[in-house]
Structure formats: structure tokens, C-alpha cells
Structure 1
Amino acid sequence: MKTNQLFLLTGLAAVALPACVQKDKKEVPEKPMNILYIMCDDHSYQTISAYDHRFIETPNIDRIANEGVRFTNSFVANSLSGPSRACLLTGKHSHKNGFTDNTKRFDGSQQTFPKLLQQAGYQTAIVGKWHLTSDPTGFDYWNILTGQGDYYNPYFIDNGEKKQIEGYATNITTDLALDWLDTKRDKDKPFCLLLHHKAPHRTWMPDTCDLDLYDDIVYPIPETFYDKYEGRIAASEQEMNIIKDMDLVYDLKMADKENEIHTTTGLEANGRALYNRMTPAQKAAWDKHYDPIIKKFKEQKLTGKALAEWKYQQYMHDYLRVIHSVDRNVGRVLDYMEKNGLLENTIIVYTSDQGFYMGEHGWFDKRFMYEESFRTPMLVRFPGGVKGDIPEMVQNIDHAATFLQLAGAPVPEDIQGDSYLPLLKGEKPKDWRTSLYYHYYEYPAEHAVKRHYGVRTDRYKLMHFYNDIDVWELYDLQNDPQEMHNIYNEPGNESLIDSLKTELHKLQKQYDDPIESELANAKK
């Protein structure tokens, strides 16, 4: 569904610049709505208590849902950090914005929604993780982490000037965002602030004040942890398995001072380097927590299943400690917004650049079109809007159209996403999408996830793995929500496959993805 109409919301805060209200018999222009977009890197929906209570409570993030809406079918177009961010900025699929994988450089000269918001009178800013290689454009203020960024004492690039800041990245990113809101922005203009945290990206390094959190908790092993990947060739050939691919030193912090723990992944030196960039005080807190764990680990000499499940527990504890810090800092931002009277004139979106595996199928990381990676959390607080769950399927290409419509700005025809503003108003558009398109490109590369594209409806998912492989997979998400049984080659599914391929080709035509014709020509 595409719309360029400018909506005036009766009973809600104004969203179009020309809108006026009657006050003391005088016409006073209403303030256009501010936009606060909070995005974490690799935050799984399973680890937000608004979605799932098995692992952690996230009261501050949940507050956005409790005072707004929870999208229960939110997805990405390409489950990888850089491409996901390019989709957000442009409102277009990867093949259209040119940033198909992390080896690319984002073309900052192209149309983005921050540039269009600037034209509509907004002041724009981005703070935190950028990860698009080129410098940000379309922002009045930008202060971004270099590359992936570091958890401890990270380097930021402040509108072109590189500076190292002592402290913990999640706290620093929040500090910079609040400082911009408080002292640097023009308070006579509406704002759009993108607050992008590095956390909880690998290597899940907790803040020193959170190191001992959850020590007494044993997390349940996922049902699919020991998945054998029968009938799923691409899944069997990945390199993101906790058992065989998660590094003891780099990922799990076993950087012993005796240099007795060694790994075979090639990441051991990187793990020791992360420790060495800390200050003496940070190292002291770190050592107090990890030295006893390292000592016990060396004494136990774990192997096989015991080692696999120890790695899972260590991973989960660190990941969730990092989430706790994110939640605390989201609380800081919400408290600031409330104290300064901004909550009732600001849309707040909390999401992730993609989903993440918390041991499902034995994995960490993302990339696949399987649910845990494809699906993202998305919570929205929209003043005066509906509350509760929104079940319609949305995708990260939809944010651009939504923010532009919210600002009363035209939505260019070449933006491929749809505005979900009507959904926030409680409307049920008859022509809302009933299927989603996905395309992942980064192979060969880290984690060895094959290139693939596919279509997802409310019940079924069809995927095609290609390049050095030619394999189709089909899942009935109603009967097989964990996607363990590929039914593509089972008799009786021919009609279903034909209908899903028709839908797939329709989406490829709609989004102008030439992959099918390219593959056909390659076979000639």
C-alpha cells in the first residue's frame, strides 16, 4: 500500500506542518511531531519481556509497549547490520539502495528520509552505530562509532572529528543523545533523532556494574539446540554454531593471563586485544568477575555436551547483562523526555536492525530468513494512538514512509516501503500487504550463510538458496514454527508451491529485483 496523502489526526498531536488549532480564539499552529528512533544491534525479540518472559525483564523497553503498541509481525528485508541500516534510511530493498552486504560502501548522495525531513523543516541527528562506511549525510548533527564500535573506551566521529571517550558505549551513546536533545538542537524546530546502540552486538561485553548479574540463573536449553539440520543443506553448512564456532577467548572472555587457553577460530588475539583496551579500573572489575570463571573452566576440562552447554550459558549470561544496560539507558531517555515535556509530541520507536539466535538451532548471529533472524522487535509509542498489539506484517523498509507521512512530507514514489501510520491510528487498511520479500547476499563471508531470497505469508515461508547451491525450502509456520521440517519435496505440496512462487515473482516484479532472470541467464 502506497499513499502520499497528508494526514491530520483528529484528537491526536498534529502531524502536518500547516495544521492549526483554536486557542483563545486565535489560530495557533500545532507543533509537528518529533521522531525518536532507538535501534539496537542484534537485539532479539526473545530477550524483550514485552515479547517473552523466559530470559529477562526489560521494564523500560516494555514501557514503550505498555504506553503504545507492540508489533507482533515485524521483519527485516536483509538480516545484516549495514544492509538493514541502508533499508531503514532509504525505504528500499538492498538491491535498490546498493548496499547489499557489509563489503559495500553506502552511497550518501542518494535520497534518504533524513534529507527529506530536513526539507520539511526538521532538525536531524544520529548518535551511535552507523556501520555504513561512508560519512553520514542528511544529518545536522552526527556523532558515530567507528566501524563496529567498541564496548569500552570507544572512538566516536563527531561531525568529522575522531575522539576517544572513556567509558562504556551504551552509556556514552545515551549521554551524547541526551546532550544533543538538551543543549545542541534548535528547540524551535521539530527533531528526528536516530539513537543507535552498538549493544548487544558480538562480543557481548557487559558494563562493569552489570558483570555479576544473573549469576544464579541457569537458562533453559532451546529445544532445537542440537538440531541435525536434516533436509536443510544450507543450515548444515553455516559457521555460526555455538558448539563449534563460538570462540572461547574472543566471544566467551576466557583470556587467561597464563595464556593456556587457545582456540582454532583465528579470533583469540582479537579477544585479548579487547581486554587490553580497558583502563586499569575497568580491568580490575573485569578480572574480579572473569578470573574465577576462567580458573574453574580450566579445572573442569569440559568436553562434548558439557562444553557445549557451558558455552551456551556463558553466552546467554553476557548477552543478557548487555541487554540490562540497554534497558537502563532506555529508561534514562524516557525519563528525560517525560521531564522535559516531550513525550506527548514525540513518536518513539524501539527496534533492532535484525533478529538474533539465542541458541535456537544451536546458533548465535543472524543472516538466515528463518524466524529468529528475520523477525525483529518493534515497539512504538505514538501519542493519542491505539494501544495493544498490531498483527499486520511490517518491514524495516516501512519506517521511511511512516516518518515522512508523520511529518506531513510527500512520500516519493520510489520508496518501496509502506507507512504504518494508519495502523498506529487504529485503521485497518484493506490493501495492507499479505506477504513479505527477503533477500540476503553476503556469501562467501563470515558465518558461511548461503545467499538466498524468499517470500513469507502469514502461514508459509518459501526460500531459494542459490549461488553455489540450488535448493528450495518450504515451511508451514503453523504446524512447524521452529522450521525443522522442509516440506518442499513432500508429495501433495505442488499447488502450494506454485502459488507461493507466483507470489514470490509478484514481489520480485513489484520491488524490481532481477534475481530470477539473472539466475535463468546464468544457467544458459
Structure 2
Amino acid sequence: MKVKLILGVLAIGVLSVLLLSCENEQKQKRPNILFIMADDHTSQSISAYGTIFGDIFTTPNIDRLANEGMIFNNVYCTNAICGPSRATILTGKYSHVNSYFKNESGGQFNEKQWTFIKALNDNGYQTSLFGKWHLGSEPVGFDYFKYHNNKSQQGDYYDPLYNENGKNVREEGYATTLTGDFILNWLENGRDKDKPFAALLHFKAPHRPWKPEEKYKDLFKGIEMPYPDNFNDDYKGRELTAGDTWMTMDYFNRIDMKVTAPEGLEGKELWQWKTHGNNPDEAWLPEGCKTQEEARKWKYQRYIKDYLACVKSVDDNVGRVLDYLDANGLAENTIVVYTGDQGFYLGEHGWFDKRFMYETSSKMPFIVRYPEKVAAKSQSNDIITNADFAPTLLDFANVDVPEAIQGRSFAENLQGQTPADWRKSYYYQYYEYPFWHHVQPHYGVRNERYKLIHFYYNMDVWEFYDLEKDPNEMNNAIADPAYAEIIKEMKIDIVNHQNNLCIDKSLGVMRTMTDAELGLVGGH
């Protein structure tokens, strides 16, 4: 009897050791997570997606991620503006639920709510943040952070001010390179190398006002950059919406264009001179330009060269971090994500900035490398949203996803096995108006071929696009009888999405959200 008891105790002990060993092994195998996001970086400036710039401009390090992982062609932002997109990425919830739905007068992010970073931190991950936070509040759930902390949290390109774990520190140098330095130092010296890490690497670049690193200031000197096909859009059939924005080349100010001020201007007078161009009827002619058409082309050339030069530094620093992962045996078990917080206009429709549900601004670049589970040189055309990022990363980390999350894990999609019931359309809603760029609030749905948008704030205007026939969204086909049945079905789809997402369909409520004065945090 005693022998059996002893054997039973030994068996239980051995089983406990094996279970504990298995649990520890599982924890050790959990992937590291490196989430890289560049502010306002758009897919048409990443050579892996194809650009109009050819050999003039390439992004070899970001392209490397695409060659070694999966590139997504249909990842969408649910509200195409910086702060709200970041809030959705963190929470896995739409703007009306996480309560951060606009930058201008939008208040600040509620740091007490659940985020995927908090969940990872609670489950044994070391967490860190470097670069741009841009949510007004101080980050919660991070073991270490160092983020841009000037007044609007937009950050400065040169000699920026950072908040380092609660203390303001000014650093000398170029923001993009400094951000790369910070994460490399943390990876080497700041983390517990026996634990998995989740690091958010958030570059300020290439956000306005597009100040290149010194070594790249003349990168495209003497080159005339190509123009998008629809640079000279006349907004026919979209006069009240696309035709009434403050995003054309006319609205670049002199800070954007790096124009030297006349001698003798000071204080308010100097500031007004520098910011001239922000508002209607302030179009200005650069020296040597005789017409507005010449001025728009001149401004585009200055803009696109500065923008791409800023991206060049981002690509350099992505390469530095990837090289570190390789050199330290971390690449195989690290999920590396590269994205922007939404798309951006590089002259398409004659614009800069974002906000619209149109493809150029709502579509996000999104590339994932995870050698252990994601096939190299793979692609996905599945419709993904930024609300899906959080549950996907938690899925790979073997951390439970709360039921309240509105996004859905696409871990299976990443491994080439798209679920049969994967979504066929997604819902979008933009609230901010009139500042900064006078884009009318709107909502809509986009499926695999068609897009339907409703502009509702002080108008009742619908737009419909057949993206197969009209990929540049130049022809509003809302009145074409050939599409009447499809439009009817898509209006039903809008209501279904609104019901599933618990969106109050009252236009009065939506307008109230636009009008709400919750405090200035993010600006444009």
C-alpha cells in the first residue's frame, strides 16, 4: 500500500514537473512583437507596393519585409486620421467606442481602457514605446516609453522633446534616427532577455512639415518627379465633397515649402507670413511662378521630394533594426509589422493629407514578417481593418481576447488559410470638420469591388464607385441605373454594419460628435 502511495506521489510530481516544463517552454516560444508604424506613410511610397517613381526612389528595407513575409493589399483604416487610428489599433474598437474620434478638439485618449499592450504586459511581455504617441495622455501598460512630448505631441524633426518614463528630456539630432537609436539601445541594454518583448516603434516621419535628414536634403536635386494620373482632377460629379476641401497644392503654407521669410518680420506678423496658405483664398505664388497652375506644380515638386526624403530615413532605420534582429538571433521568433496610421495623398486628386474614405487615404500599407508561421513572398487580398491588429497579435501571443473587441484575428489569414466566413466588406466613418482640411464627415462601406459613401453633416450626398472600372475614384456613379440594385444592397449593408458595431444611426448624434469641443490635443 505504501509503495503504491509513494509511486502515486512520484507520478504526480513527475507530471507536475512535465506540465510546468511544457508551460515554460510555451512561454519561451511566444513570439516577440515589433510593431513599426510611420506617421502618414502611404503604400504608394513603398516600392514593394509599386510606385510611380521607379528607380528614382526605393525602400529596400521595407521591401525586405515584404520579400520575407506577407504583403497585404486591402488593409483599411476605419477613420483615416492619426490619433483615432492609433486609438483603434490599441483597443481593437471603432472610434465611437474607444471615444477618440477626432484630433481637433477631440480631447485625449482614455488611458484607463483596455489595450492590447496592457494585455501583453499582464501576461509576461516586456512592453516599450518609442517615437510618436500623439494621443494626449501618458502611455499606460509600458515598462518603458520615450515619446514626442511637445505641446501637441506631434513632435519635432530636429532636437525633439521626449517624455522618458515620466520625465521630459530634449535630445539633439534628427527624430527618425534618434527613434532608431532608442529602440536599439533598449533591445541591447534595457530589456530582460529571458522574456518576450512587444515594442511599438512609431516614427514621426513622414508627417507634415516634411523636414528631411540633412544628408537627404538634396536627394532629388535636379530631378522632376512624376505626377499621379489624376493630379489635375476637376472634381466633376463630386463638387460638394472632393471639390470643397482645403487639401490641394494651394493650401501648402510657407513652412511646408521651406521658404525663407523676408527680413524684418517678427512675432505675429512673421507667423502669419509663414502659415499663409492654410486657409481659403490664401493661395500664393512662389517666386518665378506666374500662374496658379505653375505654382501647384512647383509646390508639388517641393512637397514630394521632402516627403520621400523623410521616408528614406525611415527605411534606413527599419534596416538598422532588422539587422539587429538578425545579428542577435531574434528574427525567426519575432513578428515584425510595418504599417502607416492611414494612407496619404501624394498629389492624387491634386491633394496632400488624408481623411476621406477614398482608397488613397483609407488604405494602409501593411506588411508582416514572422518566419516561423508566415510564408515568404506571400500576399493577401482579404479585407482587414485596423481594429483587427490587436486581436491578431494577442492570438499569436496566446493571450485571451476580450469579447468587447470589435476587430477579429486574422492569424489564419496570415498563414494562408482565410476562414470561409471572413468579412466581405468593412465600415468606415470620419467625424472631424471643418478643421483642418474641410473634409465633410461621412460614413460608408467598401466590399471587394464597390464603395458607397454618405456625406451627412450639412448635406445629404451619396457617392458610389466601381473600383474595378474606376480605381482612381473619378466617376461618381450614384445615379447610374446599372448600379441601382447594388447600391440598394450596399445601403442595407451599411445598416447591418452600424447595428453590429452598435453605432447610433441618428444623424443628429453623429453631428453632435463632430461639433463636440473636448479639448485640443492632436491638431492636424
Q: TM-score range by the shorter chain?
A: 0.7 to 0.9
Q: Is the 1:453–1:465 Cα contact (8 Å) retained in structure 2? A: yes
Using the alignment, how far apart are the partners of 1:324 and 1:264 within structure 2? 35
Partner of 1:66: 67
What residue identity is the alignment partner of 2:334?
A: T
- Matched with 1:386 is 375
TM-score (norm 2): 0.86
For residues 83 and 110 of structure 2, what CA distance do their matches in structure 1 show? 12
Q: Kindly indicate whether residue 331 of structure 2 is the aligned counterpart of residue 324 of structure 1.
A: no
- TM-score, normalised by the number of residues in structure 1: 0.86
Q: Which residue of 1 aligns with 2:222?
A: 216
Match of 2:44 in 1: 46
Query: Which one of 312, 322, 345 corresponds to residue 357 of structure 1?
Result: 345
Give the gaps of 5 or more residues in structure 1. 1-16, 272-295
Counterpart contact for 2:261–2:274, Cα < 8 Å: no
Helix, strand or coil at the partner of 2:364: coil
Question: Relative to structure 1, is the Cα distance of residues 138 and 173 closer, same or farther in structure 2, using a 3 angstrom cutoff?
Answer: same
Other-structure match for 2:34: 36
Residue 138 of structure 2, aligned match among 135, 139, 142? 135
**CA displacement at 1:18 relative to structure 2:** 8.1
Matches within 5 A, 1:84-95: 84-95=85-96
Cα gap change, 1:389 to 1:413, in 2 (>3 Å): same
Answering whether residue 243 of structure 2 is matched by residue 236 of structure 1, we say: yes
The counterpart of 2:257, out of the listed 252, 256, 266, is 252
Q: Report what 1:315 is aligned to.
A: 303
Q: Is the 8 A contact 2:52 2:228 kept in 1?
A: no
Which of 363, 376, 381 does residue 364 from structure 2 map onto? 376
In 2: Cα distance, 1:470 partner to 1:186 partner: 56
Partners of 2:269 and 2:429 lie apart in 1 by 31
SS of equivalent to 1:50: helix
Which whole-Å CA distance do the structure 2 matches of 1:416 and 1:322 have between them?
A: 34
Contact 2:111/2:137 (8 A) holds in 1: yes
Moved more, 195-204 or 26-35: 26-35
Q: In structure 2, how many angstroms separate the alpha carbons of the residues matched to 1:426 and 1:301?
A: 53
Confirm or deny that 1:400 pairs with 2:403: no
CA–CA separation in structure 1 for the residues paired with 2:368 and 2:262: 46
Amino acid at match of 2:479: N
Instruction: Give the match for residue 116 of structure 1.
Output: 119
Q: Does 1:464 align with 2:454?
A: yes
Task: Report deviation, 1:257.
Answer: 5.1
Q: Deviations over 1:252-297 (max 9, x none)?
A: 101245479xx999764469xxxxxxxxxxxxxxxxxxxxxxxx96
Alignment check: 8 A CA contact 1:150 1:169 kept: yes
**Structure 2 vs 1, CA of residues 314 and 269 (structure 1 numbering), >3 Å: closer, same or farther?**
closer
Q: Distance in 2 between matches of 1:488 and 1:396?
A: 28
Give 1 or 2 for the bigger CA radius of gyration. Answer: 2
Distance (whole Å) between structure 1 residues aligned to residue 510 and residue 61 of structure 2:
50
Cα separation, partners in 2 of 1:221 and 1:267, compared to 1, 3 Å: farther
Checking the alignment, whether the CA contact within 8 Å between 2:69 and 2:375 is kept in structure 1 is yes
Pair 1:443–1:517, CA change in 2 (3 A): closer
Give the partner amino acid of 2:76.
Answer: F
The secondary structure found in structure 2 opposite 1:225 is coil
The size of the alignment, in residue pairs, is 473
Aligned to 2:9: none
Percent identical: 48
More displaced 10-residue stretch of structure 1: 249-258 or 99-108:
249-258
Deviations 1:295-339 (A, max 9, x none): x963x2443222111111111111111111111111111011111
Contact kept in structure 1, 2:66 and 2:368, CA below 8 Å: yes
Give the equivalent residue in structure 2 for 1:6: none
Q: 1:84-127 CA distances to partner (integer Å, 9 max, x unpaired)?
A: 00000000000010000012210000010011111211111111
Q: What's the CA shift for 1:202?
A: 0.4
Q: What value does the CA root-mean-square deviation take over the aligned residues?
A: 2.4
Following superposition, the deviation at residue 19 of structure 1 comes to 9.0
Q: Are 2:28 and 2:195, in contact at CA under 8 Å, matched by a contact in 1?
A: no
Contact 2:286-2:295 within 8 A present in 1 as well: no
For structure 2, the 5+ residue unaligned runs are: 1-18, 277-284, 513-524
Relative distance call for 1:370 and 1:92 in structure 2 (3 A) is same
Alignment correspondent of 1:338: 326
Distance in 2, matches of 1:190 and 1:380, equals: 18
Matches of 2:308 and 2:458, distance apart in 1: 36
Counterpart pick for 2:193 among 187, 190, 198: 187
Residues 45 and 376, structure 1, Cα contact 8 Å, conserved in 2? yes
Tell whether the 8 Å contact from 2:111 to 2:140 is kept in structure 1 after alignment.
yes
Q: Is the 8 A contact 2:205 2:311 kept in 1?
A: yes
Structure 1 residue 173: deviation in Å? 0.8
- Retained in 2: the 8 A contact 1:443–1:449? yes
Relative distance call for 1:302 and 1:327 in structure 2 (3 A) is farther
Q: Offset of 1:27 from its aligned partner?
A: 7.3
Q: Does the Cα contact within 8 Å between 1:20 and 1:30 map onto a contact in 2?
A: no
Change over 3 Å in CA distance of 1:471–1:264 after alignment to 2: farther
Distance (whole Å) between structure 2 residues aligned to residue 513 and residue 132 of structure 1: 23
User: Cα distance 1:30–1:479, how it changes in 2: closer, same or farther (>3 A)?
Assistant: same
User: Contact 2:395 / 2:401 at 8 angstroms: preserved in 1?
Assistant: yes
The question of whether the paired residues in 2 share the 8 Å contact of 1:250 and 1:267 is answered with no
Cα distance in 2, alignment partners of residues 510 and 27 from structure 1: 39
The amino acid of 1:44's aligned partner reads: T
AA at the equivalent of 1:398: D
Query: What's the CA shift string for 1:431-467, capped at 9, x where partnerless?
Result: 1111011110111211011101110001100011111
